[in-house]
Amino acid sequence: MGEKWVWMKTAQTPTNIAVIKYWGKRDESLILPINDSISVTLDPAHLCTTTTVAVSPAFQQDRMWLNGKEISLSGGRYQNCLREIRRRATEVEDKEKGIKIEKKDWEKLRLHIASYNNFPTAAGLASSAAGFACLVFALAKLMNVKEDESQLSAIARQGSGSACRSLFGGFVKWIMGKEEDGSDSLAVQLVDEKHWDDLFIVIAVVSSRQKETSSTSGMRESVETSLLLQHRAKEVVPKRTLQMEETIKNRDFASFAQLTCADSNQFHAVCLDTCPPIFYMNDTSHRLISYVEKWNRSEGSPQVAYTFDAGPNAVLIARNRKAAAQLLQRLLFYFPPKSDIDLDSYVIGDKSILEDAG
């Protein structure tokens, strides 16, 4: 190996939104959850991370830049992902460039990593899911790792739990697994992105402020203090997951909306049941819920499902483009821009949808 080469790969990974939430770990360092979860992966054009990973004999240490700013890789989560990927690295050869990296070289070679989010960080949208999934996927390409997406998801999981679900498009299930070493706690694709492609996702940015309680510490406190969480993990989620899988298979929007909203509401009820209570939603989030509930009832059948993660921003899933256009029009009227919601952020990407309201 000479000193004057750089070998690199780039990957792009979208974020995902849970419709059956992951909340609570049974193992903090391996990131093993207390229940299965199900998510939908967003269109990569709108909310995704792009990561370039490079290796060169000239690099002195592992380094990473996030949106152009250097960040520390010393945390256990990064170290776990790097270690697990290096362990699975295989030989790489590019005859044209005269590069040959043998399996044993990967332990010594240092990495440079540059990662960008294509959505405003200020929007307050979770980025760790796309970030760790993309990091693991890019490194696997660089190091010629031969494992499939599910095996890679078990590595991304050790960066951030929700990241394991971003290795696939469409609807994805994170199976909690039973093994102590976490080897069976991984993501599988339920259906691909073409299966239910008339769904339309609108993200209403209610507040771009950084949340006060991170998901990691919030769920730790819930595991320690919430009896409702124990009930949810043992009694509610196992049944609800099966129902959700059926609903997705049949593209049954009415039942999808009912299960999605119920699961989001129960997750936030668990947060309230935590001691001290955690308030992720605010008054605007509550008004949005009431508004969507009222609209769905007046239509006779649900047009929109809502779900909220560990923050006040609403993820609204419309049954089709027409419902999404009507939703946007109504949001513009009832939650005018520059008041309590930043409407520029309603539609990230294709704003022409507003013309479809009818």
> Which of residues 161, 169, 177, 302 is near ligand DP6 by CB under 6 A?
161
Shortest Å distance, C-beta 159 to ligand DP6: 8
Region from 20-28, 61-69, 95-103, 148-156 binding ligand DP6, contact rule CB under 6 A? 20-28
Concatenated DSSP letters of 59-116: --S-EEEETTEEE---SHHHHHHHHHHHHH---EEETTTTEEE-GGGGGT-EEEEEEE
Per rule CB under 6 A, is residue 240 in the interface with ligand DP6?
Answer: no
Region from 15-23, 67-75, 184-192, 241-249 binding ligand DP6, contact rule CB under 6 A? 15-23
**E strand segments, 136-181:** 171-175
> Which of residues 117, 162, 226, 274 is near ligand DP6 by CB under 6 A?
162
Kindly tell me which of 15 and 326 has the beta carbon lying closer to ligand DP6. Answer: 15
Per rule CB under 6 A, is residue 274 in the interface with ligand DP6?
Answer: no
Shortest Å distance, C-beta 155 to ligand DP6: 13
Kindly tell me which of 193 and 309 has the beta carbon lying closer to ligand DP6. Answer: 309
Concatenated DSSP letters of 46-64: TSEEEEEEEEETT--S-EE
Question: How many separate helices (H) and strands (E) can be counted in the chain?
Answer: 9, 16
Kindly tell me which of 21 and 240 has the beta carbon lying closer to ligand DP6. Answer: 21
Shortest Å distance, C-beta 23 to ligand DP6: 6
> Which of residues 21, 88, 232, 240 is near ligand DP6 by CB under 6 A?
21
Shortest Å distance, C-beta 18 to ligand DP6: 3
Q: What own/partner pairs with CB < 8 Å and gap ≥ 24 does 208-211 have?
A: 208/120, 208/122, 208/123, 208/124, 208/342, 208/345, 209/124, 210/124, 211/124, 211/280, 211/310, 211/311
Task: Name the residue whose CB lies closest to ligand DP6.
Answer: 161
Per rule CB under 6 A, is residue 215 in the interface with ligand DP6?
Answer: yes
> Which of residues 13, 41, 127, 128 is near ligand DP6 by CB under 6 A?
128
Kindly tell me which of 210 and 301 has the beta carbon lying closer to ligand DP6. Answer: 210
Kindly tell me the burial class for residue 242, based on how many C-beta atoms sit within 10 Å of its own C-beta (0-12, 13-18, 19 or more): exposed
Kindly tell me which of 106 and 267 has the beta carbon lying closer to ligand DP6. Answer: 267
Which parts of 304-323 interact with ligand DP6 (CB under 6 A)?
309-310
Give the residue carrying structure tokens 């730790």. 220
* Phi, psi for 113 (deg, rounded to 5): -130, 130
Shortest Å distance, C-beta 2 to ligand DP6: 40
User: What are the residues whose beta carbons fall under 8 Å from the beta carbon of 331, sequence distance 6 or more?
Assistant: 202, 204, 341, 343, 346
Task: Supply the angle between the helices 149-156 and 76-88 in degrees, to the nearest 10.
Answer: 150
Concatenated DSSP letters of 190-216: EE-TTTTTT-EEEEE-S--SPPSS-HH
User: What are the residues whose beta carbons fall under 8 Å from the beta carbon of 215, sequence distance 6 or more?
Assistant: 126, 162, 309, 310
Kindly tell me which of 128 and 285 has the beta carbon lying closer to ligand DP6. Answer: 128
Region from 16-24, 55-63, 115-123, 252-260 binding ligand DP6, contact rule CB under 6 A? 16-24
Region from 160-168, 195-203, 248-256, 316-324 binding ligand DP6, contact rule CB under 6 A? 160-168
Per rule CB under 6 A, is residue 42 in the interface with ligand DP6?
Answer: no
Kindly tell me the burial class for residue 188, based on how many C-beta atoms sit within 10 Å of its own C-beta (0-12, 13-18, 19 or more): middle
> Which of residues 14, 22, 34, 222 is near ligand DP6 by CB under 6 A?
22
What residues make contact with ligand DP6 under the rule CB under 6 A?
18, 21-23, 31, 37, 126, 128, 160-162, 215-216, 309-310
